[in-house]
Amino acid sequence: MRDFAPLLIIPAAALVVGPAHATEYLSIEQAQKAIFPEADRFVAAPVLLSEEQREAIEDRAGVKQRWEKQDVWRAEKNGQLIGWFIVDNVVGKHEFITYAAGLLPEGKVKGVEVMVFKETHGDEIREASWRKTLEGKTLADPFKLDKDVPNISGATLSCRNVMNGVKRLLVLQQVALPAR
């Protein structure tokens, strides 16, 4: 290994952990108000999924339900259920992306908000113009990039995983949440 010692310094320097770039855009309360501004109460209703339910979600959504516990809130107005507010994490290119989805009782997407985006790039998915393409979606929609949801070049993985995550939450609603 002659003459190699100086080169060893370079990888050592390169592999020093870089600074974190975590950016929290919305708190849970802010995301709740953004998606369900008409709600007068949010009631925590966390869901603990059984193995069978997780398998059912994966089978129908086509993506893995990674966690047993899903953070869910009932959005209520005058004591009536007006929708479900769900906080979820999906894989980004380097880190998990935390977002919230609002689902109407009939199984339709009310809105999507990106809460924490630790990714180092691709935060264009936070733009309202992209998130709005998910509004109104049901499980009858294709959920296909560049078909019914636009792709953002350079952020394809983020687009795909948030899109698939929303579809998975629609399935989770059918599998694990009551109709009212």
Q: β-strands 108-117, 80-91: how paired?
A: unpaired
Go through 90-112 and write b for each residue having 16 or more CB atoms within 10 A of its CB, e for each that does not.
Answer: bbbeebbbbbbbbbbbebbbbbb
Is the distance from CB of 118 to CB of 21 less than 8 angstroms? Answer: yes
Residue 11 or 79 with smaller CB distance to another protein:
11
Residue 73 or 130 with smaller CB distance to another protein:
130
Minimum CB–partner distance for residue 11 and another protein (Å): 5
Minimum CB–partner distance for residue 131 and another protein (Å): 9
Rule CB under 8 A: which residues touch another protein? 1-4, 7, 10-11, 14-15, 17-19, 21, 63-64, 90-91, 93-96, 118, 120-124, 127, 129-130, 132-133, 145-146, 148-157, 159-161, 164
Is the distance from CB of 169 to CB of 149 less than 8 angstroms? Answer: no
Minimum CB–partner distance for residue 36 and another protein (Å): 20
Minimum CB–partner distance for residue 77 and another protein (Å): 25
Residue 39 or 169 with smaller CB distance to another protein:
169
Q: Which two tokens stand for residue 83?
A: 């929708």
Q: At what angle do helices 51-61 and 156-176 cross, to 10 degrees?
A: 130
- Calpha distance 72→12 (Å, rounded): 44
